[in-house]
Amino acid sequence: MFDRFFKRFSKDMGIDLGTANTLVYIPEKGIVIDEPTVVAINVRTDQILAVGNEAKQMLGKTPPHIAVSRPLTNGIISDYEVAQKMIKYFIDKIHEDGSSFMTRPRIVIAIPLEVTEVETKAVEDAAIAAGAREVFIVQEPMAAAIGARMPIQDPIGNMIVDIGGGNTEVAIISLSGVVAWKSTTIAGDEMNRNIIQYAREVFNLFIGEHHAEQIKKKIGTAIELEEKMEFPMRGRDVITGLPREILVNDTQIREALSRSIKIIVDLIKTTLEITPPELTADIHERGLLLTGGGALLRGIDVVIAKATEVPVRIADDPLTAVVRGTGILLEEEELLKEIMLPSARNIK
């Protein structure tokens, strides 16, 4: 009875708490928040100045009394207080119309596969402290597979590769569970660092992380393209210390990204090697699904398909697959009960 009462007066939400971006889904409305996981705080007053896009614009440009923080590292909360404030900010933003007096929502949060019970507890505690009534924790690849409408409950092999900002996860799913998996911290953020390192070593140029990400999105590729692409690279000259701009092309950026791409491909191959033969046969026939922001890197599906000899397809809107999965789980309680992780809040 009370559950029905609370449901009526709260906006339950699914959250993809990503290293690079946080997305929030509300049933009947869909994705209502899609912003960078960045928070700007006035350290003198301990007040949040900006969250998301506005805070990201401040990176590397702040005076000493303003700290710009990314509270998640490799998909795991690294700054508990800031993460809690950020989640509270999003909950308050969704309920800011003031139409209800009961605003403590049920929240489904997706977390990486390779997390400890203590790290899981930190996510639960942060959400409860931010105002959640109940918190349900699910694994990111499971949420992404559900969001992509894969038949995870069937006795067949479903292979999903989620290339996020802080980590890449490869999972084989069957009968609502992860049968085999591998994970690495080589993902979108590491690709940005590859470009920063390449700029310094090859061009004697210091560039910022935000600019490196722009270059990756504009001309980053995993395969050679028919048409050459170029983009200006701007930064500070290592030798003179003065601003400098050069024009870089897709071949150079592909060279910068090649090591990270190879590690991701090798991870997929290693996961296939430890997969039970019956499921391997299913995957060979059905292929694998790419999700996450890294799936948008031009030609990465072609490289993976060639290396693994497995058909590869990219999810529709791969960036939102995880949060769409959490949204489906809010509405399908039996499936949620089946795949959610046990609560870690009873850990002393």
Mean pLDDT lowest among 73-82, 240-249, 318-327: 73-82
Give the max Cα distance, the chain.
70
6 pLDDT exceeds 90?
Answer: no
pTM of the model: 0.90
Range of the domain at 330: 2-34+76-143+321-339
For the stretch 93-100, contacts whose Cβ atoms lie closer than 8 Å and that sit 24 or more positions apart, written own/partner, are 93/33, 94/11, 94/13, 94/24, 94/26, 94/32, 94/33, 95/11, 100/9, 100/10, 100/11
Q: Same domain, yes or no, for 197 and 250?
A: yes
- The one-character DSSP state at 320 is G
| Residue 1 pLDDT class (50, 70, 90 cuts) | very low
pLDDT band, very low/low/confident/very high, at 341 (cuts 50, 70, 90): very high
Q: Among residues 257, 286, 301, which one ends one of the domains?
A: 257
What pLDDT score does 8 carry? 52
Residue 82 shares a structural domain with residue 23: yes
Question: Within a domain: residue 176?
Answer: yes
Q: For 193-216, write each residue's pLDDT tens digit.
A: 999 999 999 999 999 999 999 999
Report the Cα 325 to chain-centroid distance in Å. 13
Q: Give per-residue pLDDT as tens, 78-127.
A: 999 899 989 988 888 887 765 444 568 999 999 999 888 999 999 999 99
* Residue 109 resides in a domain: yes
Q: What percent of the chain has pLDDT over 70?
A: 94
Whichever domain contains 128, its CATH number is: 3.30.420.40
Number of domains in the chain: 3
State how far the Cα of 216 lies from the Cα of 204, in Å rounded to an integer: 19
pLDDT digits (tens, 9 = 90+) for 136-159: 999 999 999 999 999 999 999 999
Q: For 284-338, how does the pLDDT look when each residue is reduced to its tens digit (9 = 90+)?
A: 999 999 999 999 999 999 999 999 999 999 999 999 999 999 999 999 999 999 9
Indicate whether 346 pLDDT > 70: no
Could you tell me if 91 and 225 lie in one domain?
A: no
Q: Are residues 137 and 9 in the same domain?
A: yes
Taking residues 153-174, report their average pLDDT: 96
User: Residues 6, 98: one domain?
Assistant: yes
Same domain, 103 and 138: yes
Using the 8-state DSSP alphabet, how is residue 317 labeled? S
197 and 248 part of one domain: yes
Say yes or no: 312 and 168 in one domain. Answer: yes
Rg of the chain (C-alpha set): 21
- Domain presence at residue 23: yes
The CB density around residue 162, as the number of other CB atoms within 10 Å, is 31
Identify whether 129 is part of a domain: yes
State the chain's mean pLDDT as an integer.
92
Work out the percent of the chain whose per-residue pLDDT is above 90. 81
Within a domain: residue 49? no
**CATH code of residue 197:** 3.90.640.10
| Greater pLDDT, 135 or 3 | 135
Same domain, 229 and 114: no
Question: 182 and 198 share a domain?
Answer: no
Average pLDDT value for residue range 49-57: 91
Domain boundary among 207, 240, 257: 257
Domain-terminating residue out of 257, 281, 307: 257
Residue 211: inside a domain = yes
Of the two residues 59 and 245, the one the predictor is more confident about is: 245
